Structure 1
Amino acid sequence: MKRAIVAIVTDYAPPATRGGAVRALTAMTGAIHDRVDLRVITRDHDALTGAPLEVDSSDRWVRENGIQILRLSRKAVILRSLHRTIAETGASNIFTNSLFSRLTQKLLARRCLSSTALPPLVIAPEGELDAGALAVKPLRKHVWLSLATRTGLLRNVTWKAASEIERAAIRRAVPGATVTLLPYVTRPTPALGQRGTKVTGNGRLLFLSRIAPKKNLRFLLQCLRNAPQGTELTIVGPIDDTAEWESCKRIIRSLPPGVQARYLGEVAPADVWRHYQAADAFVLPTLGENHGYAIEDAVRAGCPPLISDRTPWSFLGDEAAGFVLPLDDSATWTAAIADIVAMDEDRHAAMRARCHAVARRLTSDEKLVDGYVRLLTGTPTD
């Protein structure tokens, strides 16, 4: 039986590692590529910084892990017809994982101006439409949203949400939107070594995320100004916003004696697990997440999360597998950090065990994979 051809347009695909969107795309394509003929159109460089990626070839199709991939050079992104490239694949459907990507904007404009029918389009905004994300560079985003809705650029688009929170955010931003709810395809937890014993009076905190206003590292560092001695924060992740990082560095220099914060830079995906294993808690005071892969990884590694109440993981607080706190009360964050520092091994081990219990429930089933196949190919639901 001939498989349906689906074109995937994305700013980030492996070997890029930036953010959860790459994780989501990799997991989805890995789960469905034996049932759908996927043609991925992406960049050979980082869309944010322009830095080249380590790829074997640019501007030509290559086959990797059973998937056809075209990585466009910076020149080709500007000059090459995205519509013609997709047409040449014979794709019957198109999927993109960003609304604000220049590639997506180019695609939407071509759909609006074309006199011929173009393949159906599915957009998975990956949290771009939640309030926290829209608050970052809001003018540019709101102008584009207003233009897109008023001119009909988003007409006949199907949206994919990963959670009820994201579905509500999409419908607020795009009234009348058709939204399909599909949780993320999850990946298995790798074999992890034995972690060390929790030392009372010492709290090893881990911030593993992009350094950007939405991730709210500055708020966490401000909370550390009142944290007890023995608090140690390790910061891991790429610097997306240099002004934000400069503000963070000023706070780090002002931390009191006995409270430390160090930045290790960006690490390869395979290396993140050892950081979770070495930490007593994962901390992310995010302004909003539609999934939060870093939170999921922390749970899988048995590293109790201390997170804001703006993610789909708020149930961790109810199950005593982590701390879930509001962002309008920094004192509660400082108190939670003090609690982690004072925690003994027995109590920490019990919390780790509850994390592992949650992790055992995070397994994608065949029904979810079927849902992705139907969404991307436009197959009606039975």
Structure 2
Amino acid sequence: MRENRLIPRPTQGGRATLSEPALFRVLVTSTFFEPGFRGGGPVRSVAHILDAASPGVAPILVTRDRDMGATEAYPGLSGQWVDRGRARIFYLSRRQPRQWYRLWRELRATRFDLLYVNSLWAPMSLVPVLAARLGLLRAERVMVAPRGECSPGALSLKSGRKRLFVKGWRRVLRSLSVEFHASTEAEAADIRRIFPWATVRINANQTALPPEPAPVPALSSATPGPLRLVFVGRIAAMKNLALAVEALTLVRQPVVLDVYGPIEDAAYWRRCEALLAALPPNVRAEYHGSVAPSAVVGVLADHDALVLPTLGENFGHVIAESLAGSCPVLCSDRTPWNSILGDGGGAVIPEFTASAWAAEIERWAGLTPEQRRAARIAAADAYRSWRADSVRVTILDLMSELAHQR
């Protein structure tokens, strides 16, 4: 029988006090977290994992003290412990050795049942895994959530560097009997291609689900305006905005494209800007910067379709948000949403060519107002169906159950 131990719970000032008995203690690391949002879907996935965990799970999260791309820390949070329900969060400045040392001393006092890191090769994953390997952190089990980093699309970016890294990192992970968290069977297969010996736990990626879609408004005009497309996501090669813009250079019907998202890769954005400058007169495009998570569904609801030529998603939060906003999705086949989109939520384009994407955009631009409204209703219905079947058990509860079966 597992002993019911007490764990230290640091106070806002950093001093430790004894908490209520905890059955399953988890140390979670994630490069970015709330109040930031530019890190995209993983931020929301980790938030849900913390918030939805059962009372028997006692999580501690260590994250950076600033948002992706930010030069300044969140006001008043750097080096601080913060309560979030039953979870405790430490906001770490990577350039403050004193914060590292103080954090290590407090974490060292606890024997964790699970170390759960988000990313295969981010520093916020490498450091704690190596610390566990060297005995500087005490964790009975280690789990890595690659968050799509093992997909062929992700591995194709900076592939030489990643291959070299994985060659040495395999030995460290295997020596710790590391387990992996995959969101789908397809992601599990991607992980096993790189780590054939791996134990992979499949647990559907989750998020705080958007509410039921609002009724689709009645038609206000029988004359179709230009097709209103929207892109919402990080401006980086993985999201593949450049392909959508390149496709629009081949489109002959009127189209509007609104682009939202943080610029993660400045060089990639310069490439996108050059393509945007070459768009024909029938296509209007505008970059609007980042959008707060609370406003995403509303932004999507104002458009006829989300365009997402992504190279790979282990979940695709923006797809759920788009369908919740009754906005169909024109998407690559590198997401878990293929059947839902193919059955009425939008369209799946398997080819990564400008001509293929241009042909699909032309088809949507030629729809009548009645057909566009019908597509919006179908997208909302697809979301309701998916939402009703979505999994509610988090990966931390799954690992807790497995631990108690041993």
Report matched runs for 1:153-168 at 5 Å: 155-168=176-189
> Structure 1 residues 275 and 360 mapped into 2: Cα distance closer, same or farther (>3 Å)?
same
Aligned position for 2:15:
none
| Separation of aligned partners in 1, 2:351 and 2:34 | 33
Q: Larger deviation: 148-157 or 295-304?
A: 148-157
> Structure 1 residues 355 and 381 mapped into 2: Cα distance closer, same or farther (>3 Å)?
farther
| Separation of aligned partners in 2, 1:366 and 1:247 | 38
CA RMSD of aligned residues (A): 2.6
Deviation of the 1:193 alpha carbon: 5.5
Secondary structure at the counterpart of residue 75 of structure 1? coil
Aligned position for 2:277:
253
Q: 2:233·2:239 contact (CA, 8 Å) conserved in 1?
A: yes
Report matched runs for 1:126-275 at 5 Å: 126-152=147-173, 155-190=176-211, 197=219, 200-275=224-299
Q: 2:344·2:378 contact (CA, 8 Å) conserved in 1?
A: yes
Q: Provide TM-score, normalisation by structure 2.
A: 0.86
> Structure 1 residues 361 and 335 mapped into 2: Cα distance closer, same or farther (>3 Å)?
same
Q: Match for 1:93 among 109, 114, 137?
A: 114
Q: 1:108·1:154 contact (CA, 8 Å) conserved in 2?
A: no
> Structure 1 residues 348 and 19 mapped into 2: Cα distance closer, same or farther (>3 Å)?
same
Q: Larger deviation: 72-81 or 355-364?
A: 72-81
Q: 2:31·2:63 contact (CA, 8 Å) conserved in 1?
A: yes
Q: Larger deviation: 51-60 or 34-43?
A: 51-60
| Separation of aligned partners in 1, 2:213 and 2:179 | 39
Q: 1:201·1:343 contact (CA, 8 Å) conserved in 2?
A: no
| Separation of aligned partners in 1, 2:122 and 2:246 | 32
Aligned position for 2:83:
63
Aligned position for 1:75:
95
Q: Provide TM-score, normalisation by structure 1.
A: 0.91
Aligned position for 1:15:
35
**1:65 partner letter:** G
Report matched runs for 1:294-305 at 5 Å: 294-305=318-329
| Separation of aligned partners in 2, 1:107 and 1:95 | 9
Secondary structure at the counterpart of residue 129 of structure 2? helix
Deviations 1:217-248 (A, max 9, x none): 11111100011232000000000111111011
Secondary structure at the counterpart of residue 80 of structure 1? helix
Q: Which runs of 5+ in 1 are unaligned?
A: none
Q: Which runs of 5+ in 2 are unaligned?
A: 5-20
Deviation of the 1:65 alpha carbon: 3.3
Aligned position for 2:128:
107
Aligned position for 2:57:
36
Identity over aligned residues, as a percent?
Answer: 30
Deviations 1:82-109 (A, max 9, x none): 6544323443221111111102111222
| Separation of aligned partners in 2, 1:184 and 1:55 | 30
Q: Larger deviation: 370-379 or 317-326?
A: 370-379
| Separation of aligned partners in 1, 2:349 and 2:303 | 20
Secondary structure at the counterpart of residue 362 of structure 1? helix
Q: 2:184·2:204 contact (CA, 8 Å) conserved in 1?
A: yes
Aligned position for 2:340:
316
> Structure 1 residues 366 and 224 mapped into 2: Cα distance closer, same or farther (>3 Å)?
closer
Aligned position for 2:370:
346
Deviations 1:8-47 (A, max 9, x none): 111111112111100111112111153311111111023x
| Separation of aligned partners in 1, 2:278 and 2:92 | 44
Deviations 1:341-363 (A, max 9, x none): 12122222222222222212334
| Separation of aligned partners in 2, 1:251 and 1:212 | 15
Q: Larger deviation: 347-356 or 210-219?
A: 347-356
Deviations 1:227-283 (A, max 9, x none): 123200000000011111101111111111121111000011111122111110000
